[in-house]
Structure 1
Amino acid sequence: MRTAHRLDRGMVRPLLAALNQHGRYAYRAPEFQVDHVVIGGGVVGLAIAHALAQRWPSKSTYVIERHGQIGQETSSRNSEVIHAGLYYPANTLKARMCLRGRELLYQRMAQWGARTKQVGKLIVGTQDEEAYLARLHAHAASLGPLAPPTELLSGAEARALEPDLAPSIAHALWSPRTGIVSVHELMAHLAQGLEMLPHGETPDAQIVYGTSVVRLDPHEPPRQSSKRGTDASQEGWVVHTRTHDASHTQTDALLARVVVNACGLNAPRVLNALMAGLRMPEAHWVPMYFAKGSYASYRGAGIEHVQHLLYPTPHLGATSRGSRAVHALGTHLTLDLDGHARFGPDLAWLDAPPTVDAEAEDALGYMHDFWETQLAPSGTEAWLDEMHAAICTYLPGVCRANLAPDYAGVRPKLAGPDANVFQDFEVLWHNSRGLGQQAVWQRVLPASEAPGGVLVSLLGIESPGVTSALALAEHVVEGLAARVWGDQDPRGRARRYVNDVGVSQLEGWA
């Protein structure tokens, strides 16, 4: 695999890790064959699996989730905001997915009878922020048919909406299309869609819990030609899995025509495993950066009248942690669907361990995820003092004593804090055939070659990942329809199994 570009690593140490980095899991010939394997049962993985099952219900779709429940990592530790799409550069993948995903999310949740609330957002600033807010207003208007409506307000107009705002707030930008959602309800509906289609048909799809992908290899059998053309049915990826109650040496091997790498914080491990198999040096691997965000809950005086989300401009109330607008949007106030307020997140970069210990592979089949020890919110008195100072720049009535640590989340980053440039979502496409001639950062499949097995890797899917999830799923499915399956589902066609192993054995694995 060729390295198309390198990302600056900054001053924070990234993690360079790959599946099966120390060779613990030996290659096994595949025993079962499936159409789709989705690695990761977070909101993006579930959205993609749901879209695959809806588009091709007769094809087999398996979500492999290492935890015992869905959405246990980034998906369950965020602000639950439906972002309008104000901040992202035009025509970037992040902008397109956020704008489209916002509309899909409101539509689908309404169809499912699930809760959302379009509460709106005020971005507030002092006299010095007038130009910034004007530029943001003009940018939002330039984003095309799905451009989020915005309105520039004076400080007095902003306080008419939110009387608790500080007298120093002189300008604001009103974004009425911003909303909130229960991510757990969203994931539950996506998971239910794997069990039954709207017209009552049962798709061939399910979630396999407590199982890790521990190795991935391209499968390249000789192509067989016939009058119908080249048969690529045995091409794909050998996905090695380990159930967590099994021994470290006991694995299962699946042949998947399509693998979707949607495992969030661990997604670079999958791609790096392929580079390791090609003996590419670690210096060319995809670096893994981790940014922790802590939240504080609040009950009490100072926000009695708050009805909307409140965001400061990026440098209003900036903390000593040095968060930049390219990485975070400041300490803002969000509401949940029950009306409870929280402040955050802040931004704290996590240093990865200097070396990866061969003995550190944990019970889940991955090398130890050091960030799992960082999931408690910062919670120190100094942290609460700093957060309170940032909040008081726009909500001076908030009482320090009523702030309490709530929860923390970790965001997957592809560049460190010193890379002061916008980092887009990355959706990379690779073919199982001729892998060594493909670029690492390959955003389209080579048009000149009929695809064998396809690997789709979603990297750096942080905010606005929840808002973008349904659009990312649509993007992936459209790509597979164009390059692999075609638009139609071949209903009634029996699936093939490697070595004539049938459906009963596959169900036993699942």
Structure 2
Amino acid sequence: MAIAKAPELTVDHLVVGGGVVGLSIASALAARWPEKTTYLVERNKSFGEETSSRNSEVIHAGLYYPVDSLKTRLCLRGRELMYQRCQEQSIPHKQTKKLVVGADFSKGYLEKLQSHCDELGPLAPPTRLITGQEARELEPNLSDNIAWALLSERTGIVSSHELMASLERDLLEADNAEIVYDTKLVRVDPNEPDRSAVNSKRGGDGSQDGWIVQTVTSESSSSSSDADALLAKVVINTSGLNAPIVLNSLLSDLGGTQEDAIPMWHSKGNYASYKGKGATGIQHLIYPCPDTRNKGTHAHTSLGTHLTLDLDGNIRFGPDTEWISPPTSEKDAVDFWKRALVVDDSRIETMYDSITEYLPNIDKAGLAPDYAGIRPKLIGPDTKAFMDFQFLWHNSTGLAGQKLWQRAPGLPAPSTSCISKAKESVDKAEGGAMISLLGIESPGLTSSLAIGEMVREMIAKHFYNEHPTRQASSNKGARNEDHAHRLDAWA
């Protein structure tokens, strides 16, 4: 680990992680506060090289999650923001609709799913329960065993690359924002200056409150002497698969032990491409129902090996669910998952068995290993329960008196259907703020723009004490002159 260093410059907002969620948050902050500086650091050479680029690229309608969960709230809002942005900025997308299909036993499940959707308020996804015959009129390749289907009208697909590229352009074109690629965070420390100092420049006025963040650019430079240090007033940890590592590094400051650390579970989803018979002319996404005969539960761990389409109409199946475990050494755990990104041929057999339950005439020889993605999980395979998105907040002042699982202010209490250790919310913002986003998996892509919106309003209200409806000042695009000469040098 790098040794403590004095900061060389100060920024207002530092976003760690350049996936779709980090880009969305940085874009929202830069647009809202053009007079403040917003930085995004990403350890890869480009945006979205990890979870954000290895998923189904589905715009989820918001069918599955508990009514009072953040996943539902952010998916519904994010879905509409996604379609709006795609239309306004000509981002490739298509509202394909989706069929959730099942045999005779599935009717009760699908009726409950439709009833659940009806409870979701003004943004409730429109659905229609149809018979298997009606489903086959839409998709003739479906099995004769399909007796019922729920048609989701608002489901679609999007080019995740073009979406992220549009968010990157927002930041590149803003005078108050910077993106620094190929740069990894190596250390973060609370900076809590002596407020009794007579000279306010020493921090008595709060100007030095925040987090001292050290970063190293390029893999060739890894020694502590190569690290750059900056003071960030607000740090937003959106580093995805490694987000728990950032927060766990503060365990000793929080008075915790390694036993208190936030767990890291990784769920690998394998995808297969398909060329062949039995799936020609498919227009809808097709998702199988969970087998509710197995105790009638749906653990939200996977939506089954479903059929998705890309924007050229090509078919792919997946993801399945394959749990992988990190090494015991935290240092080795950082990128261990990269070794698992190859789809093993042995997965095709299991996927084929699952697919033929609803598309019986596909040819196994037409299935080919495609790509794999890794989901960040906060609970393991033995926990059959729902885990919501987690937004934790920590103040740089008085860190020793805070809890590791400390819910961000302004959020509702955890869903009654959710397992969460974040029972308590931080009372108020003191000093600098760190917001950590954990377990941002599906429907993270769909929710990304709503997450950016929510984090922006959270910071406005609870850090800047501003009214949530505050409009950006008229000097949009003006650089923060206090740091202008240092921003470009650091980048």
Q: Which residue of 2 aligns with 1:480?
A: 459
Question: 1: CA distance between counterparts of 2:440 and 2:334?
Answer: 21
Q: 2:41, 2:184 within 8 Å by CA — same for their partners in 1?
A: yes
**What is the CA–CA distance in structure 2 between the aligned matches of 1:489 and 1:307, rounded to whole Å?**
42
Alpha-carbon separation, structure 1, partners of 2:384 and 2:52? 26
Q: Counterpart of 2:421?
A: none
SS at structure 2 position matched to 1:295: strand
Query: Out of 17, 20, 23, which is 1:43 matched to?
Result: 20
Task: Note the C-alpha offset of 1:246.
Answer: 2.4
- How does 1:97-496 map onto structure 2 within 5 Å? 97-196=74-173, 202-223=174-195, 231-244=205-218, 245-249=220-224, 250-315=226-291, 325-356=299-330, 360=332, 368-380=334-346, 383-445=347-409, 449-485=428-464, 486=466, 487=470, 495=480
Instruction: Note if contact 1:302-1:398 (Cα within 8 Å) is conserved in structure 2.
Output: yes
| Aligned partner of residue 251 in structure 2, secondary structure | helix
Q: How many correspondences in the alignment?
A: 462
Q: Secondary structure at the match of 1:268?
A: helix
Note the C-alpha offset of 1:223: 3.1
User: Which residue matches 2:488?
Assistant: 507
Q: Give the residue type in structure 2 aligned to 1:472.
A: I
Closer, same or farther: CA 89–311 of 1 in aligned 2, 3 Å: same
Partner of 2:9: 32
- Distance in 1 between the 2:481 and 2:3 partners? 25
Distance 2:339 2:59 in 1: 28
The whole-number CA distance in structure 2 between the counterparts of 1:348 and 1:131 is 28
Deviation of 1:77 after TM superposition, in Å, equals 0.2
Range with bigger deviation, 400-409 or 307-316: 307-316
CA drift at 1:356: 4.0
Structure 1, residues 7-65: CA drift from partner, whole Å, max 9, x if none?
A: xxxxxxxxxxxxxxxxx310001111000100000000000001011111221111100
1:87 deviates by 0.1
Structure 1: runs of 5 or more not aligned = 1-23, 197-201, 361-366
Q: Which residue of 1 aligns with 2:29?
A: 52
Q: Distance in 1 between matches of 2:481 and 2:250?
A: 26
Equivalents in 2 of 1:265, 1:204: separation in Å? 28
8 Å contact kept, 2:34–2:472? yes
Which residue is 1:4 aligned to? none
**1-side partners of 2:271 and 2:305: how far apart?**
9
Q: Deviations over 1:306-325 (max 9, x none)?
A: 1100000023899xxxx964
* Alpha-carbon separation, structure 1, partners of 2:427 and 2:129: 49
- For structure 2, the 5+ residue unaligned runs are 410-424
CA distance in 1: counterparts of 2:334 and 2:462, whole angstroms: 36
Query: Does the residue aligned with 2:252 lie in a helix, a strand or coil?
Result: helix
Tell me, what secondary structure is at the counterpart of 2:80?
helix
Give the letter aligned to residue 306 of structure 1: I
Measure, in 1, the Cα distance between the counterparts of 2:293 and 2:365.
Answer: 19
Contact 1:215–1:240 under 8 Å retained in 2 = yes
1:3 matched residue in structure 2: none
Q: Cα–Cα, structure 1 residues 496 and 430, in superposed 2: closer, same or farther, change >3 Å?
A: farther
1:125/1:316 contact within 8 Å kept = no
Is the Cα–Cα contact under 8 Å of residues 41 and 71 in structure 1 kept in the other structure? yes
Structure 1 counterpart of 2:419: none
Deviation at 1:464, TM superposition (A): 0.3
2-structure distance, mates of 1:207, 1:31 = 18
3-state DSSP of counterpart to 1:53:
helix
Fraction of identical pairs, as percent: 52
Relative to 1, partners in 2 of residues 1:343 and 1:161: Cα closer, same or farther, differing over 3 Å? same
Deviations 1:213-261 (A, max 9, x none): 10011111133799x9x83222111011111242422111100000000
Amino acid at match of 2:46: Q
- Aligned pair in 2 of structure 1 residues 120, 128: CA closer, same or farther (>3 Å)? same
The alignment's TM-score, normalised by the length of structure 2, stands at 0.90
- Provide the rounded CA distance (Å) in 1 between the counterparts of 2:479 and 2:166: 28
Matched, 1:78 2:78: no
Aligned partners of 1:443, 1:115: CA distance in 2, in Å? 36
Are 1:451 and 1:483, in contact at CA under 8 Å, matched by a contact in 2?
Answer: no
Q: CA deviation at 1:354?
A: 3.1
TM-score, with structure 1 as normaliser: 0.86
SS in 1 for 2:122: coil
Distance (Å, rounded) in 1 between the aligned partners of 2:285 and 2:189: 46
Q: Greater relative contact order: 1 or 2 (C-alpha under 8 angstroms, separation 6 or more)?
A: 1
Q: Residues 175-198 of structure 1, C-alpha deviation per residue, up to 9 Å, x if partnerless?
A: 0100000000000000001133xx
Deviations 1:438-488 (A, max 9, x none): 222222347754532110100000000000000000110000110223236
Whether the aligned pair in 1 keeps the contact of 2:214 and 2:229 (CA below 8 Å) is yes
Q: Deviations 1:47-106 (Å, cap 9, x if unpaired)?
A: 000101111122111110001011000000000000000000002111100000000000
Amino acid at match of 2:341: L
